[in-house]
Amino acid sequence: MKETIKNLKKVYSYGKKYKKSLIIQIVCCIIGIIINVTIPLISAKLIVNFTDSMWNQALFMALILLCVSFVNEVKTLVIRKNTQIFRRGTVRNMQMALGREILKLEQSTLDSNSSGVFIQRLTNDTDKMSGMFTTGMGKLTGFLSNIGSFIAILIIDYHMFIYYLLAAIILTILYYIKNEKVGKKDIEFRNQSDKVAGLTGELVRGARDIKMLFAKESFMKELDENIKLQSEKNFEMRNTDMKFNLVIDLLKDFFEFITIVILVYLVTKNAVTVAIAIALYSYKTTVLTDLMGTVSSLLEEIKSFNISSNRVFNIINSRKYKKEKFGIKHINKIIGNFEFKNVSFSYDNINNVLTGLNLKIKENKTYGIVGKSGEGKTTMFNLLCKLYDIQEGTILLDGIDITELDEESIRGNITIISQNPYIFNLSIKENLKLVKNDITDEEIKKACHLACLDDFINNLPNGYDTIVGEGGVTLSGGQRQRLAIARALVQKTKIILFDEATSALDNETQSQIQKAIDNLKDEYTIVIIAHRLSTIVNCDEIMVLQGGKIIDSGTHKDLLKSNKTYKKLCETELVEK
């Protein structure tokens, strides 16, 4: 109970804005309870005290009951309307809050968890949580209303009240045990559902690669095994539920038999009349079936609510899912310098990717970084943007340790353009508006022109309103690169990092990208990680990364003369061509 109350308070905090609808709902539920408790009481008194001379009174009471039924229907309509208002708003607020918290998670946490873990919580679990304030409240109302039947039985005959109460307690205990057992199976089922949701997302997002790798059968086998396991977990949960239901239903049948025996005994002993016995028997369905069914449903709702709440709040509040940490210092506009001082980093805390790395980047200059695969080039960019935290050393941005800076000062001033930049399933214009909501059409056109993308866009039937598909699937690799460059220009970050931006492009497309990069020179600090060294030959300075540290730097001509590693990389590229 303590856990439920704590979770209810947390969920309510997301629905405070709609508390008026919740209050109306509660008031209507109270009215419903009063009606449902009062009617059995009135009916019970009429049964006990009815005589032939009370026909007029009975007709009058029947008319009152008709009016009460009308009020009850109106009350139900009002509850349903306000339920939807509260639930819809609460779910939206929880989903937005959870979405923000997911974006705050450390990159290592996102890397180590399936996307399904977060998708299921963001969609299904938030909806189940809000349901406690709606369907859960309806079930609680039904439970309290059924209590009126017990009160009516107590008024008619206390013997049957004691019997029905004992039977209800036994059934309630069984329902409680059932829900505990089913709840544990439900957790296992939901965890497996997370995996299936993650694989399903990968099926859609990675369809192209699955086809090209001719991996359809192996991927579908993996998906099938997980769906099968999900089905087994679901069956285990349902099977446990069915076994308990069988025992409970058999027990209800037994209690019904005992009810008949007791009533027959009371009639033979003249303790009750036949009419009262029939009335007491009619309450059997309410107290042994409706009430226990309501109790069971309410317990199931509470259990489901707590499971969903714990899954969601584990992301929002728990230490299990680590959040990114930033400082409090803020820089409105950076100059564009950054520096790595004796930086060491490992993804697994065992094998270092970078070891004692030192490098200094000056504003408005263009730099190239070269090295073999796995030397840590991309890692440098990730650390500069604070996607991961370093184990040793310091990274300075305009002379300030990035651990002291807030998120906006870092990520609002740095853009990474990767080999496969993520393009959202929106129009070209909307993709650019994501980084600057108030951008004008003139700014969009200027950015696309500098990125050498405007000619392509102008030839599209819908121009800048063209939807590019998930991941920019309708665009070529070069077009995605140039759209990412335009996005960086719109964001107006001082530092632009190119991570293997041209390695998979043809020569013509590469020249267009190179032209776009040249358009940025002298106004931005540019750092280029290059597989194709032709991309960086004109850089102000080129750095050679080996063994997790910079082993040499200089211009292209200087390094050809002085550095064997760089010369070998250049010769390898020529051979590959």
Contact predicate 21/86, CB 8 Å? yes
* Distance, CA of 82 to CA of 137 (rounded, Å): 12
Question: Which tokens go with 372?
Answer: 């073999």
What pLDDT was estimated at residue 181?
87
Q: How far apart are CA 434 and CA 423, in angstroms?
A: 11
Contact criterion met (CB below 8 Å) for 324 and 490: no
What are phi and psi for residue 238, nearest 5 degrees?
-65, -35
Tens of pLDDT, residue by residue, the chain (577 residues): 788 888 888 888 888 888 888 888 788 877 877 776 666 656 655 655 555 555 666 666 667 767 777 777 787 788 778 877 888 888 888 888 888 888 888 888 777 777 777 887 888 888 888 777 777 777 777 777 677 677 777 777 888 888 888 888 888 888 888 888 888 888 888 888 878 877 777 776 666 556 655 677 777 888 888 888 888 888 888 888 888 888 888 888 888 888 888 888 888 888 877 767 777 777 776 666 666 667 777 777 788 888 888 888 888 887 778 888 889 999 888 898 999 999 999 988 888 899 999 999 999 999 999 888 888 888 999 899 898 888 899 999 999 999 999 988 988 888 888 777 788 888 888 888 888 888 888 888 888 888 888 888 888 888 889 888 777 778 887 788 888 888 877 877 889 888 876 655 567 667 776 777 777 787 889 999 877 777 788 889 999 998 888 999 999 888 888 888 888 888 776 444 4
Rg (C-alpha) for the chain, rounded Å, is 35
Neighbours of 562 (CB within 10 A): 11
Q: What is the pLDDT of residue 151?
A: 74
Rounded alpha-carbon distances, angstroms, from residue 339 to 343, 372, 380, 400, 541 = 10, 22, 11, 10, 15
- How far is it, in rounded angstroms, from Cα 175 to Cα 442? 66
Q: How far is CA 51 from CA 58, 154, 282, 426, 511, in A?
A: 10, 21, 20, 76, 103
Going by C-alpha positions, the residue among 565, 567, 517, 568 that lies closest to residue 538 is 517
| Alpha carbons 388 and 398: distance in angstroms, whole number | 20
Amino acid at 335: I
Compute the C-alpha angle 556/561/564, nearest 5°: 95
Q: Rounded CA gap, 107 and 323, in Å?
A: 9
**CA-CA distances (angstroms) from residue 344 to 173, 323, 497?**
59, 21, 20
- Reference 446, options 414, 499, 492; nearest CA is 492
158-168 in b/e form (b: 16+ CB < 10 A) is ebbbebbeebb
Give the three-class secondary structure for 236.
Answer: helix
260's tokens: 């008949």
Q: What is the pLDDT of residue 393?
A: 93
pLDDT for 40 equals 60
Find, among 490, 134, 53, the residue nearest to 305 by Cα: 134
- Ordered domains of the chain (ranges, CATH): 2-187+240-316 (1.20.1560.10), 338-576 (3.40.50.300)
- pTM exceeding the 0.75 threshold for the entire prediction: no
CA 120 – CA 27 distance, rounded (Å):
33
Q: Please, which residues bridge with residue 354 across strands?
A: 345
Q: What's the CA gap between 428 and 462, in Å, rounded? A: 10
Q: According to the model, what pLDDT value does residue 114 have? A: 72
Judge contact between 135 and 155, C-beta under 8 A: no
Distance CA 298, CA 101 (A): 30
Q: How many helices (H) and strands (E) does the chain have?
A: 22, 10
